[in-house]
Amino acid sequence: MSSKAIQSRFSISTPIYYVNDLPHMGSAYTTIAADAIARFNRLKGKSVLMITGTDEHGQKIQRTAEAAGRSPQAHCDQYAAAFVSLWEKMNIQTDRFIRTTSARHEAIVYEFFQRVWESGDIYMGQQQGWYCVSCEEFKEERELLDDHHCPLHPNKAAEWRDEQNYFFRLSKYQSALEQLYSDRPDFIQPESRRNEVLSFVSQGLQDFSISRVNVEWGFPLPVNPDHTIYVWFDALLSYVTACVDLEAEPTLENALSGGWPVDIHLIGKDILRFHAVYWPAMLMSANLPLPGQVFGHGFLTKDGQKMGKSLGNVIDPVDLVARYGSDAIRYYFLKEIEFGRDGDFNEARFINILNADLANDLGNLLNRTLKMVYKYCDRQVPTVAISEIPAEDILRSKGEMLGEQVTQAYQALAFSQACEAILSLVRASNKYVDEQAPWTLYKQGKQVELERVLYGVLESARLAAYLLSPLIPNVSTSIYQQLGYSVDFNQQDAAAPFETHSLWGALPTGQTLGEAMPVFQRLELPAPPT
Ligand code: MSP
């Protein structure tokens, strides 16, 4: 592969989700964000690998399957399918869906284990401590609530364990990790998460156990089949497996040529240590390159508590998407919650924001402008040379900066900022129509001014739709089609290249417009139950 081709690749992963239960809005949140970033990079013409999947081994899954009276594999098959189906409903474009029970993954786990074994980083020891099965993690006594309950799963008690396990020599990598964080300050994002990790690591790293004796549902340890491989050791490797081309043999070599290391691991803040500390150390031990960045976002909360399957306070994304459609959900969660921070879900607020931003500001802007263009300009984009629009014109000056501003925001995963910048052009356009009053210009016979105004507004609506397309691809497609394009933002083709379409002034003059129709139907709050 040429270096140019390698440069134009982009890869992003979500965590792989536990299949102990159906997906909830918290799991959908990470995946929507990853999809938006993947789509943005596709718009930019990159060859993108968007990786997600399911985490199917370990005690939590084993117990859930037992309680349901199913074999673990049958249980995993059923629940993995629920994730695949939700991603389709949420309009997620997945390139690789990796399941940890697949034979391809097993091959990678064994090859990787062997390398770490040969590095001398695995040894047998005695593990004593409190284990939270919901986190699949040993906890320090001081991390637990009274009665040894885990703060993330306050209705579940951690369990005391005292058993022989194989350990990974994490402590050996203390200084190499510190060096990594200082050489690559962007490795952990946002800053608050980086600080958490620095503080954790500065307290001194302890080796961690990577095998279990009481869990059958996992890959047997090659060096001692009485043990299975710890679910997290196995799970992290899914990112490597996912990089192997689908037709290639599952080997580390092929993962390297297929795209490992990924650019961004997008995760929730609860699993930061695994990704920012354990994982880079494991990769160093196996002599594999490290990922570009680990970004830990916040939690979705309901009434202030982390939304989670264990707490039973989840919002059902299948129900939400059936009632409101995928664009609404994608937009709300990415616009409303500053990415990196926690955010609460409130249905009334959800509806207000969508109605205000998409139905009123964006939808009405397009609709009213199209109708004027039908009437005053014979359904065609007015013939206006951009050079005739003064540089200080509010729409031109805002529009000319927008592509770059929004690019920077997407690159920093600052979705709210991207939306705010785009919406600010949309709001300015609505105000501009009110102030310039094209209907008056028409009556006064000022056709040149009229066309300049209408062009500016149409073009601003187009640019807004283009830059919002990673978040609301269906709405953006509808806007583009009404503007006379045959572009579909759900097709991964190059029909609307970034170099031209991200610039204000790209709307071709003389283009015949399509039929005006509402781009986003106003939402109503469901009637309260009687
Ligand atoms: N299986 C592990 C990840 C292994 S990755 C190699 C896991 N799975 S999980 O299903 O419990 O969680 C997956 C992701 O969903 C995590 O990033 C977690 O932070 C995220 N969320 C789960 N509940 C969440 C909220 N309430 N809000 C936002 N994200 C949350 O951990």
Whose CA is closest to atom 18 on ligand 1? Answer: 268
Q: Which domains does the chain have, with CATH numbers?
A: 3-297 (3.40.50.620), 343-501 (1.10.730.10)
Q: Does 267 sit in the ligand 1 pocket, CB within 6 Å? A: yes
**Cα 40 versus chain centre, distance:** 11
Closest Cα to atom 11 of ligand 1 = 18
Residue with tokens 């002599």, as numbered in its chain: 287
Q: Residue 91: left (phi > 0), alpha (psi -120 to 50), or beta? A: left
User: What's the 296 CA to ligand 1 centre distance in angstroms?
Assistant: 11
CA 308–ligand 1 middle distance (angstroms): 9
**Predicted pLDDT of residue 258:** 97
| pLDDT computed for residue 7 by the predictor | 53
- Given this model, what pLDDT does residue 2 score? 43
Backbone angles phi, psi at 205, to 5 degrees: -90, 140
Does 190 sit behind a cis peptide bond, omega within 30 degrees of 0 on the bond before it?
A: yes
Binding-site entries: 132, 135, 150, 153
Before 261, cis peptide (omega within 30)?
yes
State how beta strands 300-302 and 305-306 pair.
Answer: antiparallel
For the stretch 255-293, what's the b/e string if a residue is b when 16 or more beta carbons lie within 10 angstroms of its beta carbon?
beebbbbbbbbbbbbbbbbbbbbbbbbbbbbbebeebbb
Determine whether the shortest distance from the Cβ of 271 to ligand 1 is under 6 A: yes
Question: Which ligand 1 atom lies nearest to the CA of residue 18?
Answer: 10
Predicted confidence pLDDT, tens digits, the chain (530 residues): 444 444 599 999 999 999 999 999 988 999 999 999 999 999 999 999 999 999 999 999 999 999 999 999 999 999 999 999 999 999 999 999 999 999 999 999 999 999 999 999 999 999 998 989 888 888 888 888 878 898 888 888 898 999 999 999 999 999 999 999 999 999 999 999 999 999 999 999 999 999 999 899 999 999 999 999 999 999 999 999 999 999 999 999 999 999 999 999 999 999 999 999 999 999 999 999 999 999 999 999 877 777 876 677 888 999 999 999 999 999 999 999 999 999 988 888 999 999 999 999 999 999 999 999 999 999 999 999 999 899 999 999 999 999 999 999 999 999 999 999 999 999 999 999 999 999 999 999 999 999 999 999 999 999 999 999 999 999 999 999 999 999 999 997 778 999 999 999 999 999 999 999 999 999 988 777 66
Binding residues for Zn(2+): 132, 135, 150, 153
Report the chain's terminal Cα–Cα distance, integer Å.
Answer: 63
Spatial distance between the Cα atoms of 174 and 161, rounded to a whole number of angstroms: 26
Q: How far is the CA of 15 from the centre of ligand 1 (A)?
A: 7
pLDDT at 113: 98
**Of 271, 302, 305, 334, best ligand 1 pocket probe by most atoms within 8 Å of the beta carbon:** 271
Pocket test residue of 14, 30, 54, 136 for ligand 1, highest count of atoms within 8 A of CB: 30
Contact of 464 with 506, CB cutoff 8 Å = no
Which atom of ligand 1 sits closest to the CA of residue 306?
A: 26
Question: Half-sphere exposure of residue 140, counting CA atoms within 13 Å on the CB side?
Answer: 6
CA of 499 to the centre of ligand 1 (A): 36
pTM for the whole thing? 0.95
CA angle 41, 43, 46 (to 5 degrees): 50
Q: How far is the CA of 259 from the centre of ligand 1 (A)?
A: 24
- Separation of 266 CA from ligand 1 center, angstroms? 10
3-state helix, strand, coil in the chain (%, to 5): 50, 15, 30
